[in-house]
Amino acid sequence: MLVLERASRTTEDIDIFWLEGDAFQQMRGVLSECVVTITRRYRLRPDWLNYLSQILMQNEIIIPRGKLWKRYGPLHIYIPPKAYMLALKIMAGRDKDLVDCAILLPQTNIKTRQQARQLLDRYILPQAQEKNLEQIENALNRLFQK
C-alpha cells in the first residue's frame, strides 16, 4: 500500500491478507489457479501476488481492521493503518523496508524508540518479536539513531 503513499521505489509484489482465515484456507487452491492464469496472460513474475506472507505470519501478528479502499464485485480491498504497516516493516528490517519506514514514520505519531516498541507490542506477538529480535533492533537503531 506504499504505492498510495507515493513511495519513490516500485513494489515487487502485492502482499495480501485474507480477513477470514478459514475462507483463505478454503480458497487457496482457487486463488493459486487465478494467480497462474493472470501470470501467464500478462507475463508477470510468478511471485507478483504474495499470499505466503499470510501463511508465514498469521500466527505472529495481530491484523487490524483496515479502511475500505475499493470494491470490485465481491472483492473488497482494505488498506491497513499506516502504523500497522510501519510495525511490519520494522519487524522485517531489510534495507528496502527501512526506506519504507522513512516514508511511513512521519505520517504516524511515532517519535521515539519507546513509542515504536509500543507499536510493535500492539501488532507483533511476543514470540515473533523474539524470533525477529536482530532485525527489529537493527531497524530501531537506524530509525532512531542509536
Q: What is the pLDDT of residues 93-130, one digit of tens each?
A: 999 899 999 999 999 999 999 999 999 999 999 999 99
Among residues of the chain, what percentage have pLDDT more than 90?
Answer: 55
Exposure letters 49-64 (e unless 16+ CB within 10 A, then b) = bbbeebeebeebbebe
**Using 50, 70 and 90 to split pLDDT, how confident is the model at 134?**
very high
Task: Give backbone dihedrals phi and psi of 65, rounded to 5 degrees, phi first.
Answer: -70, 130
Q: What is the pLDDT of residues 79-91, one digit of tens each?
A: 899 999 999 999 9
Q: What is the pLDDT of residues 46-60, one digit of tens each?
A: 888 887 777 777 789
In a 3-state reduction of DSSP, which class is residue 25? helix
146 pLDDT higher than 90: no
Burial class (CB in 10 A: 0-12, 13-18, 19+), 40: exposed
